[in-house]
């Protein structure tokens, strides 16, 4: 698979997402990419179901998606955007490390049955550090937002 295998508008199905991320169940938090414009932004989707393993303990009588996993979904979307921007599929040669979170805010809980739309914008790339701004939304309401820093390392 190459960076040009995406559908119109940069959309990607689950098979394409799996080719860009090393994550697998239960840690894969992107189900599909709705739109991607390399060097600019990405919109990804996570369907949140009651079957998610974290809901057994967070919280059994009032299940809420942990905020740290919402931020991780943003980081996974940012990784796809980064590789699409570079025109590379990571394979076994490269890995993206999440190296920082700034200004994280949580504004609305995410519940089973919600569709989490993850919007990530590339702000800049400087000396190997990628800076992104992410928002996670449910029904056009911001659930979480943060600035993310990552770097790509050769394995």
Active site residue 117: no
Confidence class for position 124, pLDDT limits 50, 70, 90: very high
Distance CA 5, CA 13 (A): 10
What pLDDT does residue 9 have? 87
Average pLDDT along the chain:
93
Exactly one of 23, 58, 117, 119 is catalytic; name it: 58
Q: Residue 144: is the preceding peptide bond cis (ω within 30°)?
A: no
Give the model confidence (pLDDT) of 1-24 as tens digits: 444 456 878 999 999 999 999 999
pTM: 0.94
Distance CA 39, CA 84 (A): 8
Give the model confidence (pLDDT) of 51-101 as tens digits: 999 999 999 999 999 999 999 999 999 999 999 999 988 877 888 899 999
Measured CA to CA in angstroms, residue 118 lies from 2, 38, 60, 70, 121 at distances of 23, 16, 25, 9, 10
Domain of 113, CATH number, reads 3.10.129.10
Confidence class for position 154, pLDDT limits 50, 70, 90: confident
The structural domain count of the chain equals 1
Q: Domain range spanning residue 40?
A: 3-154
């Amino acid at each position: 698979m190459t960076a040009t295998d995406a559908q119109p508008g940069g959309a990607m199905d689950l098979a394409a997402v799996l080719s860009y991320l090393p994550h697998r169940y239960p840690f894969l938090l992107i189900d599909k990419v709705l739109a991607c414009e390399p060097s600019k932004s990405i919109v990804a989707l996570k369907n949140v179901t009651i079957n998610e393993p974290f809901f057994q303990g967070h919280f059994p009588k009032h299940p809420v998606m942990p905020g740290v996993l919402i931020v991780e979904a943003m980081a996974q979307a940012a990784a796809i955007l980064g590789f699409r921007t570079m025109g590379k599929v990571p394979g076994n040669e490269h890995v993206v490390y999440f190296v920082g979170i700034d200004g994280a805010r949580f504004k609305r809980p995410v519940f089973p049955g919600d569709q989490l739309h993850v919007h990530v914008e590339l702000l800049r790339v400087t000396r190997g550090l990628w800076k992104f701004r992410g928002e996670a939304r449910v029904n056009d309401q911001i659930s979480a937002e943060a600035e993310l820093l990552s770097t790509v390392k050769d394995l």
